Chain A
Amino acid sequence: MLRRLLLLTLFTGVAGPLAAAPITFNTALPVATGEFVFREQGVLLQSGNDPGPADRDRSERTAVTALGYGLARRLALFGVLPYRSIRLKLSSGDRRLNRNSEGIGDLRLFGRYTLWQANRPGRTLRFAPFFGVEAPTGEDRERDGQGTLPPAAQPGSGSWDPFAGAVVTFQTLRYQIDAQLAYQDNRKANDFEAGDLARLDASLQYRLWPGSLGGGVPDYLYGVIESNLFYRRKDRVAGLSDRNSGGSQWFLSPGLQYVTRRWIVEAAAQIPVWQDLNGTALENDYILRAGVRVNF
């Protein structure tokens, strides 16, 4: 029953890295050849209001570490590794159980290729497909006093899950727009297969400060609003479809981003504005993100 929660955890690992980018997904902006960029993001994910009898309450705190490297003029490689702390509370009969775990999650490795770009004075338009895999680096057979933890409480999935997508970015001196379409093909492990995930994201970053540009390279304060639309297929347990899993969710994410030449600090709240999940699948209450990116 608890396995349908697993896909909720995907949210913590899919935030794209680097550049002056959206907070909740990727960008097509460049990583200079031979240069590294680093990102650390803290994520707090809260789910409750269980429509089922188990009265589930799930919270997860994740530190997501990302590193990007400009391998060639148009090709950048990225690695994203989460460290996850999961707390799952639920009722079983008269008892209230805590099913907790902590450890590194699944490592996401992917490459992004800038297929097309058009640069003009003070603006750029870029299109970049990406492709990668989520490797099963996280523990997927964690146990506690009640036995093996359900997938929703495991730090890792146990499966190699390929994903692909494309992102387009239009950046000017005043604002930046990003849009992404991505799909993740989740595979089976431990007789469980999480439903595939499709997502459509959009972001607007608008320079709030300074109002007008002087000379040089001033710091920017961006106001950010992002939209994340997720569609998940149903999970499969022992080859059978779980009717209490999968569905659609739409989040709006207001945030702020302070950008300098060497670093960026940022924060956003992902608020669910529409959730249409199957059966008793657990909805999200909110997701909070805060992080820093560094050029070096």
Chain B
Amino acid sequence: MRMRILSVLLTLFMAQNVLAAGSRYVMRVDGMACPFCAYGIEKKLGAIDGVQNVDVDLGKSRVTVDVTEGTTLGEEQMKKLFEDAGFSYRGMSVDQR
């Protein structure tokens, strides 16, 4: 019985941590082809409050952004950001981490 309670508490604790960890945005971006150009994207995304991690995948034309709970990234915001960096934003999906 004690083990079951501990297990339930542990599960609840982990679930809370996952929710508190925020969201993961996966964006499709066209025009990225070299490392030196990708830096502008990382810098601009990294400057947004709540962004925890930015991962650019050149080969897949994909940018993954992890944000804290309560932080949201909008379509128009991302379109402007990527165009300012010289690239074309095509869309995104979002998942809870």
Contacting B33 at CB < 8 Å: which of A34, A122, A216?
A122
| Residues in A neighbouring B33, C-beta threshold 8 A | 122-124, 171-173, 176
Question: Which residue of chain B has the shortest Cβ distance to A119 in the bound complex?
Answer: B31
How distant is A113 from chain B, measured CB to nearest CB, in Å?
A: 13
In the assembly, what is the distance between CA of A33 and CA of B60, in Å? 24
Q: Is B27 an interface residue (CB 8 A)?
A: no
Q: Find the B residue at minimum CB distance from A262.
A: B39
Please tell me if the beta carbons of B85 and A32 are within 8 angstroms of each other in the complex.
yes
Task: Report whether over half of chain B's contact residues are helix, strand or loop; otherwise say mixed.
Answer: mixed
Bound Cα distance A295, B42 (Å): 12
Say whether A19 contacts B37, CB under 8 Å: yes
Q: How many CB-defined contacts (below 8 Å) exist between A and B?
A: 101
A-chain residues with CB within 8 Å of residue B44 when the two chains form the complex: 32
B31, B40, B60: the one contacting A32 at CB < 8 Å is B40
Say if the beta carbon of A103 comes within 8 Å of chain B: no
Q: Are B85 and A217 in contact (CB under 8 A)?
A: no
* Chain B residue nearest in CB terms to A117: B31
What is the chain B residue whose CB lies nearest that of A215?
B57
The contact size tier of chain A is 35 or more
Instruction: Tell me if B36 counts as interface (CB < 8 A to partner A).
Output: yes
What residue in chain B is nearest A72 (Cβ atoms)?
A: B84
* B43 contacts A32, C-beta separation under 8 Å: yes
| CB pair B30 A120 closer than 8 Å | yes
Q: Is A29 an interface residue (CB 8 A)?
A: yes
Instruction: Decide if A34 touches B84 in the complex (CB within 8 Å).
Output: yes
Q: Report how far A215 CA is from B56 CA in the complex, Å.
A: 8
Contact with A along B14-49 (1 / 0, CB 8 A): 000000000000001011111111111111100000
A residues near B, CB below 8 A?
Answer: 19-20, 29-35, 70, 73, 114, 117, 119-124, 171-173, 176, 213-220, 259-262, 264, 293, 295
Q: Could you list 24 A-B pairs, sorted by A, with CB under 8 Å?
A: A29-B37, A30-B87, A31-B86, A32-B86, A34-B84, A119-B88, A120-B30, A120-B31, A121-B30, A122-B33, A122-B61, A123-B33, A124-B33, A171-B33, A172-B33, A173-B58, A213-B58, A213-B59, A216-B55, A216-B58, A217-B56, A220-B35, A259-B36, A295-B43
